[in-house]
Amino acid sequence: MQGYSLWQVVGQALRGNKGWQPAWRDPTPKSGYDVIVIGGGGHGLATAYYLAKKHGIRRVAVLEKGWIGGGNSGRNTQVVRSNYFYPASSAFYDHSLKLYEGLTRELNFNIMLSQRGQIALAHSEHELEINRRWANAVRMNGIDAEVLSPADIQKIVPIINLNSRFPVVGGFIQRRAGISRHDAVVWGYARAANALGVDIIQNCEVTGFDLKDGRVRGVTTSRGNFAADRVVMSVAGHASVLAQRAGFVLPITTMALQAMVTEPLKPVLNTLVMSGAIHAYVSQSDRGEIVIGGGADVYNSYAQRGGLPAMHVTIGAVLELFPSFSRLRLMRQWAGRVDVSPDTTAIMGRTPVEGLYINCGWGTGGYKAIPAGGDTMAHTVATGTPHPLIARFGLDRFGAGALIDEGAAAGVAH
Amino acid sequence: MLRLPCPYCGLRDEPEFAFGGPSHIIRPTLEATDAQWTAYLFNRDNPLGVHYERWAHAYGCGQWFNVARHTATHEILAVYRMGDPKPALEAGAAR
């Protein structure tokens, strides 16, 4: 692998930038692999990387229907945080945040992590009580959180309008939360996995599974059939479609979640601001765009576009908090297909088909989970037993009633 | 923005309606196994294609009704009353 460094940049510049190599190969698929990962998003690529890096399994293919990072990995709002309520969630997400903190060095690819903090706003005394309880739970889980007064918030975010229609009465901050560049995470994992021998096969749609005696033996694709005894499905919004092809039904609903960016402007917002009550979150990217997200469209959707009603609610909420943004024009608006589970916690681990593993149900918050999702799935597939951090995230938790209901605590009400 | 044909009021814009999730989910009998009960409570077809679903005209007549809608194109393929069976849509009515 061609290392990326200042010396490399200077050296290449002196040679007219003619010596750069592709960051990953476009390999001819082999007839079989030890592990096949379906889905070339962040989770799939990270799973392949950790399989090769930590478990020495290098005959791995990542099959991607379109191009890598073209789904939700390139459509999210780049938020990383670990301020979750339940111990099982916060342990997982903090593992993820810690991996993010070292990821630029680990992958030799600048993911532009900026830990600028995330403020969750409270708009009533009752919500402030809930925020205090949430912040205390986060601290009990060993993760940083501080309750803020309105004056504290105004100091951190001078342009916020605290006397909005639903006045801001306080909030709390996780200072280690932040944003990073989502394309860099995808490309960094792809390049590092490729260097360890992983085949990244794009424009390759999985059309079915080769099943025998309740076991997976391989997959059929638009580019031929590949044999593998272990297959990981990591396809977000299409999880139900693939599961159906393998013969089982999932507790997943696919919805469109929108995000949008304004025209770029000079730095005005140096943290993430999130409001669960009026349902919006805002940050400013390094390019100067105001990045805006909110709630999902309410109905089932496999369209990678959202409707105006959901966008209207989100924009209305943002303009109440930041009236000065009313002068900005939106540059782009898009949506991703999010796979929402009944308790808004991910579904990871075994499936009814032996050898077929699933990683789905991330719903509206999969980006922050990429490093830990890959790490724990790789462990689960390599050893055959669920990684301790995801032992409670299995598909069997629904029948057992052992839900992890992060719906209210996940940051934005779903 | 969806435009839904309320069977009682006619064609109206999406913000007048409330979504009620999938239709035709049948509650199992008391003899149901744990697996059947789990499937009833949690599992959803979640199709890429025709979805049979309930809507209420919340800011109109308040009535509930069923809609068959394509989940990628959002094409409304059929509207029918609560309690009516799934309409037999011709194969290929929606891609």
Q: State how far residue B94 is from chain A, nearest Cα, in angstroms.
A: 14
pLDDT for the residue numbered A279: 87
Across the A/B interface, how many CB contacts are shorter than 8 Å? 61
Query: Alpha-carbon distance A270 to B6, whole Å?
Result: 46
The model carries a pTM of 0.95
Query: Alpha-carbon distance B50 to B73, whole Å?
Result: 10
Question: Could you say which of A251, A254, A399 has the minimum Cβ distance to residue B34?
Answer: A399
pLDDT for the residue numbered A409: 53
Question: Could you say which of A252, A308, A398 has the minimum Cβ distance to residue B46?
Answer: A252
**Which residues neighbour B12 within 8 Å (Cβ) at sequence distance 6 or greater?**
B3, B4, B5, B6, B57, B60
List C-alpha distances in Å: A144 to A175, A340, B71: 7, 27, 41
pLDDT for the residue numbered A405: 86
Q: State how far residue B38 is from chain A, nearest Cα, in angstroms.
A: 5
Name the β-bridge partners of A182. none
What is the rounded average pLDDT for all residues in chain B?
Answer: 93
**In this predicted model, what pLDDT tens digit does every residue of B55-86 receive, in sequence order?**
999 999 999 999 999 999 999 999 999 999 99
By the 10 Å C-beta count (0-12 exposed, 13-18 middle, 19+ buried), A354 is classed as middle
Percent above pLDDT 70 for chain B: 94
pLDDT for the residue numbered A406: 82
Could you tell me which of A350, A353, A362, A354 has the C-alpha nearest to residue A391? A350
Count of H-run helices and E-run strands, chain A? 11, 19
Report chain A (414 residues): mean pLDDT per 10 consecutive residues: 93 95 96 98 98 98 97 96 92 97 98 97 94 93 96 97 95 96 98 98 97 97 97 97 97 96 97 92 95 94 94 95 96 96 95 97 94 98 97 96 77 46
pLDDT for the residue numbered B26: 94
Question: Could you say which of B14, B39, B45 has the minimum Cβ distance to residue A307?
Answer: B14
Give A-chain residues touching B42 at CB under 8 angstroms.
251, 342, 398
Residue of chain A minimizing CA distance to B67:
A299
Give A-chain residues touching B59 at CB under 8 angstroms.
none
